Amino acid sequence: MKLKAVLALSVLPVLFTSQANAFTVGVLMPTQDEARWYREGFGIENELKNSGFNVELFFGGDIDVSLQQRQIKRLSNDSNIDALVIGSIDGNALADALTIAKSKKLPVISYDRLITGTDAVTYYATFDNGKVGEIQGKFLIDKLHPTVDDPKNIEIFYGSLDDNNAKFFYGEAMKILQPYIDSGALVIKSGEIKPEETNIPSWRTDLSSKRMDAIMDKVGYGPESGERLDGILSPADCISSGIIFTLKKRGYTVENIPVITGQDSTPDALKNIQEGYQAMTIFKDGKQLQDTVLDMVKAISKGQEANINDTTTYNNGVMDMKSFLCTPELIDRSNINKLL
C-alpha cells in the first residue's frame, strides 16, 4: 500500500472518535514512572473515550510538582476543557495553580490523592485509605503473633509527607500496632517511629532502599549473626521494592526475610509475593476508581450531582469533601491467582 493511503487509513479512526463538540476532560497523573499511575492514566483515558468524552492526558514527568502546576494552569486556560481530573504529586501545592479553574467554575475531581487548601475541588474519588492501613497493620499482627513473652522486632516506613493518603495509611496501621509497641510485644530497634523519622520523600524506591540500608547499619540487623528483624510496615509496593532490594543485597532469602507489607499490586510486588519476598499487597481496583470518575464526569456534564458515598472522612483544610471511597482488598499468596 502506498504511504499516503496508509497515512489516510491511520488518521481516519482518530477523526471519527474524537468528537469536536464532546465534553473534554483534562486528566493529570502524578508520574508515568510508577506502575500504578501509568496504568490508571491510560485506563481513565480509555474509559472516558469509550463513553464519548474527549480526553487530554498528561503525566507529571519525574514527579515534577512545578510541571504539574503548569499543566493545570494551561488546561484551565484552555477554552476546550470542561473538567479536570487531577492525581496530584503534592496535594498541598496546587491551590494557587487552581485559582484559574476556580474563577472559571471548572469542575475539578481530586483523583486518589486529596488536593488541600482550596475550595476549587468539586469531588474526591479515592479508596478507603484508612482501611488500607488497617489491613496492613492487622496482617503484621496476624503473621507475627507478638506477645510480651515473645516480642517481635519491626521497622516502620511512612509514605511521602506531602501525600494526605500517607497519613491515613500510617494512622490506621498504627492504631493496630501501637498497643503492642506500648506493651513491649513489638519492638522498633531503630527508635524511628514518627512520620518525620520514617517518611520516604515522593515515595521513591531508591530512597526506601537507602533508608533500609541505614537502619541495618544503625541496629545491626542481619540474616544470620545479626539482630533478628521480623516485620516491616511498608505502606506501598514502590517502597517495599526498595526495602527488598536492600535485604536481598544484605543476604536475606525467602527463608528468613521479614514479613513485609505493601499496596498497589504492582507487577514487582506480585512477583515478590509469588517468590516469597513480600508477604502481602493491596489490590486497588483501578476499574472501580475509573468507573467512579466516569460517573462523576457524566453527572457533571449533565449538570447533575454525582453519586457519592462519604462526606465525613476527608476534609481538605477548607471543606468537607464530597467523596466516593472504593474498597481496597488484601492480596497474599492465598489469593494472588486472581490477579495473575
In terms of Cβ atoms closer than 10 Å to its own Cβ (0-12, 13-18, 19+), residue 187 is middle
| Smallest separation (angstroms) from ligand BGC to the CB of 91 | 9
Pairing of strands 54-59, 83-86: unpaired
What's the closest the beta carbon of residue 109 comes to ligand BGC, in angstroms? 15
| Amino acid (one-letter) located at 11 | V
Residue 33 CB, shortest distance to ligand BGC, in Å, is 10
d(CA 101, CA 137): 39
Report which residue type is found at 295: D
Q: Indicate the helix (H) or strand (E) that contains 283.
A: strand 280-283
Q: Which residue is nearest to ligand BGC (CB)?
A: 236
90 in contact with ligand BGC (CB under 6 A):
no
- Position among 124, 203, 314, 324 found at the interface with ligand BGC (CB under 6 A): 203
Select 113 or 152, whichever has its Cβ closest to ligand BGC. Answer: 113
- Alpha helical stretches, state H, the chain: 3-17, 35-50, 65-77, 99-103, 129-144, 164-183, 195-198, 205-219, 237-249, 267-275, 286-301
Does 36 help bind ligand BGC (rule: CB under 6 A)? Answer: yes
Check residue 263 for interaction with ligand BGC (CB under 6 A): yes
Residue number with CB closer to ligand BGC (192 or 264): 264
Residues present in the chain in total: 340
In the complex, the smallest distance separating the C-beta of residue 312 from ligand BGC, rounded to whole angstroms, is: 19
Q: Are 215 and 155 in contact (CB under 8 A)?
A: yes
Site for ligand BGC contains 290 (CB under 6 A): no
Q: Using CA atoms, how far apart are residues 179 and 61, in angstroms rounded to an integer? A: 41
Site for ligand BGC in 95-124 (CB under 6 A): 112-113
- Asked if 238 interacts with ligand BGC (CB under 6 A), we say yes
C-beta neighbour count of 284 within 10 angstroms: 22
Residue from 24, 76, 116, 165 in contact with ligand BGC (CB under 6 A): 165
Residue type, 53: F
- Tell me: does residue 236 bind ligand BGC (CB under 6 A): yes
- Does position 264 bind ligand BGC by CB under 6 A? yes
Q: How many CB atoms lie within 10 A of CB 189?
A: 16
Q: Which is nearer to ligand BGC, 82 or 128 (CB)?
A: 128
For residue 236, the minimal CB distance to ligand BGC (Å) is 3
Number of residues near ligand BGC (by CB under 6 A): 12
Chain residues that interact with ligand BGC, rule: CB under 6 A: 34, 36, 112-113, 163, 165, 203, 236, 238, 263-264, 284
